[in-house]
Chains A and B, each alone.
Chain A
Amino acid sequence: MQKKTASVIKAALLSAFCLTPLAAQAAEEVNVYSYRQEFLIQPLLDTFTNQTNIKVNVVFAKEGVAERLKREGANSPADLVLSTDIGQLQELTDAKVLQPVKSDVLNANIPEQYQAVDDTWFGLTARARVIYASKERTDLKSISYEDLAKPEWKGRICTRSGKHPYNIGLIASMIAHHGEAKTEEWLRSVKENLARKPQGNDRAQVKAIKDGICDVSLGNSYYYGLMLTDENQIEWARAVNLIFPNQENRGSHVNISGVGLTKSSPNKANAIKLMEFLTEKLAQKMYSEQNYEYPVKPGVEPSGLVLSWGEFKRDELPLYKVGELREKAVKMVDRVDFDG
């Protein structure tokens, strides 16, 4: 009984500590809400702290950051949000929880294509939505997203849920290029061609190709690097070729991870410092080495492994357009019942 009382008191104290979120107004600090994973972000932030003596507090989240910032309103302790795709950035913009940042450094480091029109968010890394094709059962050298709707792929395609941000981004870019009606037709045909109901994540699709369940899958480019460097998954990666789609025409669809400054930011100056740091050469290089992504800052080389996949042509469509069409894409996936 005594033990129990003690633990209850302890818990009460603990929760009392939880109730003072990250002493927001402290001196040299930045508070970050991150959709990006710890293994990727922590080394970057540690480097920043070493250089500037500014302490970075991070909380990692899988979902619901925009929802949370809305609820926290003017009291939010957060300064920055780190996102894993354009859809999340758009969601934050739609929720009106970000403020514009005017910075020459950011503008110099980040191409127009990867910035919000109103300067509320900035891309930090780029990744292509590629097609993984079975080495055994296909001899593909090139393919386009449009080809996935052709009857020859019937029962041979795997993908994760159509509602996942990475697929929503791709569908939104298709809407931008082809209009809603044609894209919906395409999406219906791709659904017809699926080998199984959308399930699992991007890597699980590559595993399915290895298992012989399907012959091609959609996935982000960096997963190839992550699988090749993971002893449990290297076999999956070895079963496929990475193909950059649409090299004959507009180029492959590219999505970004990015950063935005919150409206309520209590440590604005330091937060902008961190934003700028993340777009400089060192951080850009680290991103690519850690997660096999493409730097957005012109002139920074990606990691050796990424380089070995070859040069590719990128779709020039500005990312804010992809963001704007996000909701249309989500509703289209619902209409088509892509996941059903």
Chain B
Amino acid sequence: MEAVSAPVIRELSNHATTGSPDARRWRYFSAIVALIAVIPLLAVIYVAFFPTENIWPHLWSTVLPRYLEATFFLMLGVGLLATFFGVTSAWLVAFYRFPGRKLFSWALLLPFAVPAYVIAYVYTDLLEYSGPVQALLREWFGWRTPRDYWFPQIRSLGGAIIMFSLVLYPYVYLTCRAALMEQSDSLLMASRSLGAGALRTFYRIVLPIIRPALAVGLALVLMETLNDFGTVSFFAVQTLTAGLYDTWLNLGNVGGAAQIAALMVGIALALLYLERASRHKSKSYQSGGRTRPLTPTQLTGKSAYIASAFCFLLVFFGFLVPASVLGYYSIEYFDVTWNSEFFRLAMNSLQLATIAAALLVVVGALLAYSQRIAPSALNKSMARLASVGYAMPGAVLAIGVIVPLGALDNGIDGVARDYFNTSTGLIFSGTIAAIIYAYSARFLAISLGSAESGLGRITPSMDQAARTLGHSSLSILTKVHLPLLSRSMLTAAIIVFVDVLKELPATLILRPFNFETLATYLYQYASDELLEHSALAAMFIVATGIIPVILLNRASTAKQY
């Protein structure tokens, strides 16, 4: 800890002598936020290296290779399938005209609204032995027992790969579509005039163009896959996240869990690097002045139908099926489930989501603003450091939050006992403060990114004008910038809000006793095969999730037309 902070403090003091006091304050603010955001990560690494008992040999010789293998194949499979879904649909929508293209261009984002664990519950319900699909097949073919026919096991690694791909491909679709839309017509014209066919154009022109965008989308897909707990625990796929839970809550071994978490941190950082490096690259790829916007080619005959069918099937399986099943159950069981319990859950979820969104919007805006007022390499790296959390799986953050908060509580209590002879008890541990902390560490990147891009669109001459009129930096922020920023901050707030509603792994571990949210309730009921009783909660999460989808679509298409 000391070793990390010493150079930072030195650097800060250097700045202090060069910058104005105002700038210095802003830099200190960034440094403090970055420190708070990165504590969970440091805590995980600390506990991993200094565990109370060494379970590492047991883990390495038994389950860890399995966890790693399952995680690897899951990520590989999801990576390939989500790329196939996302790139193909982006390519079709960007370059071609076919029936329903306008509708699909936004509908393809709808599966975003369905959390992976929700789609997993729905398809299990449909496809398991006693589900309607197999029952119908048995009726048709006169089969009697499971031994009469073969049917794929939905609860398997393969099943998990399909579930994740169905709801995560929109990341790839979104980034690739944006990259393709930015291209000028001349590229394609050139390719076509030289006699290259569609497929050849795709390989020689399209793929190199979208590679950086694809890498960004793919990194996000894989981060989400690594983060998931609900799906893999339900499908009994032994990934690192499932292993972390098991080691912590079944073996009661925080040290071992932290060691697994440290491994996951390594994977997460690799993904983060992939994403950052590609973002950087994609900037240099964009053609400077756009000559002519893309004119999509009209598809006719069979190829038009194939294009429509492909997009339709993605939307159908990724959104329409789960939404219909949940909708059906919600209506069917409405009288049973629409009760005070549901309100309590919804209030808990809304409370967490509102606090997190409000907090993060404020902190994100201030952090982004600090970059503007007091720009420096160090300050920039502070902002980057502060947003490292979104690559961290929720289960990892949970350990990283529990350990330091417990130490802090007992520290404060110790001081109070020594000096004031009273006990402060536990101030943070086991309260919603702990959950909010984890959410903040994980989602700060969202509000920071929004605020940065929003501020980037405000010309510095405005700041200068306000300065000459004698305003301080804070009053410029409140009087000039915030009104202009409000839209992008609202978007950020909504995205954080929905992400919190959906969040499962960290919430499960950190929630106070007797405190259920929609997501944790759904997880518990659905794992006990009572999906119909929790469908209303799932429906609520999905319906709320549609709002940011619409916003995302607007934001990504606004530039183009």
Contacts and interface: CB of A to CB of B under 8 A. Distances in A.
A24 B413 CA distance: 15
A156 to B, nearest CB: 10
Interface string B221-265: 000000000000001101000000010111110100000000000
A199 B155 contact: yes
Interface in B134-190: 144-147, 153, 155-156
Contacts of B512: 18, 59
B249 A63 contact: yes
Contacts of B431: 15, 18-19, 21
Nearest to B63: A334
A151 interface: no
Given A60-B514, A197-B236, A11 B62 contact: no
Contact of B432 (A15, A196, A211, A334): A15
Interface stretch (B111-119, B192-200, B351-359, B363-371): B351-359
Interface stretch (B77-85, B203-211, B381-389, B420-428): B420-428
A318 interface: no
B430 A21 contact: yes
A327 interface: yes
A4 to B, nearest CB: 7
A212 B145 contact: yes
B155 A75 contact: no
B249 A212 contact: no
Interface string A65-83: 0111001111111000000
Interface in A108-164: 161, 163
Contacts of B251: 327, 330
A59 B513 contact: yes
B129 interface: yes
Contact of B513 (A60, A200, A208): A60
A2 to B, nearest CB: 13
A207 interface: yes
A201 B528 contact: yes
A20 B524 CA distance: 28
Contacts of A340: 66, 238
B537 to A, nearest CB: 16
Interface residues of B, number: 50
B238 A94 contact: no
Nearest to A90: B252
B326 interface: no
B433 interface: yes
B513 A61 contact: yes
B130 interface: yes
Contacts of B426: 21, 72, 75-76
Nearest to B62: A334
B459 to A, nearest CB: 26
A15 B235 CA distance: 36
Contacts of A200: 527, 529
B410 interface: yes
Nearest to B529: A204
Contacts of B30: none
A339 B63 CA distance: 11
Give the most central of A67, A76, A335: most B CB within 10 Å: A67
Given A18-B512, A19-B433, A64-B249, A8 B427 contact: no
A135 to B, nearest CB: 15
A100 interface: no
B432 A73 contact: no
Interface in A1-15: 4, 7-8, 11, 14-15
Contacts of A68: 429-430, 513
B406 interface: yes
A164 B529 CA distance: 17
Contacts of A74: 413
A75 B413 contact: yes
A14 B358 CA distance: 16
B58 interface: yes
Contact of A18 (B409, B410, B432): B432
A314 to B, nearest CB: 26
B445 interface: no
Nearest to B155: A199
B509 interface: yes
B75 interface: no
Interface string B376-418: 0000000000000000000000000010001001100100000
A238 interface: no
Give the most central of B66, B155, B426, B524: most A CB within 10 Å: B426
B87 to A, nearest CB: 33
Interface in B514-560: 514, 524, 527-529
Interface in B264-319: none
A63 B520 CA distance: 13
Interface string B317-357: 00000000000000000000000000000000001001100
A280 to B, nearest CB: 27
Given A14-B351, A212-B129, 5 more contacts: A19-B427, A19-B433, A71-B409, A71-B430, A72-B430
21 contacts: A7-B354, A18-B432, A18-B433, A21-B430, A58-B514, A59-B513, A60-B513, A60-B514, A64-B509, A74-B413, A95-B252, A163-B250, A197-B155, A201-B527, A204-B529, A212-B145, A212-B147, A213-B129, A330-B250, A334-B62, A334-B63
Interface of A: 4, 7-8, 11, 14-15, 18-21, 24, 33, 58-64, 66-68, 71-77, 91, 94-95, 161, 163, 165, 196-201, 203-204, 207-208, 211-213, 327, 330-331, 334-335, 337, 339-340
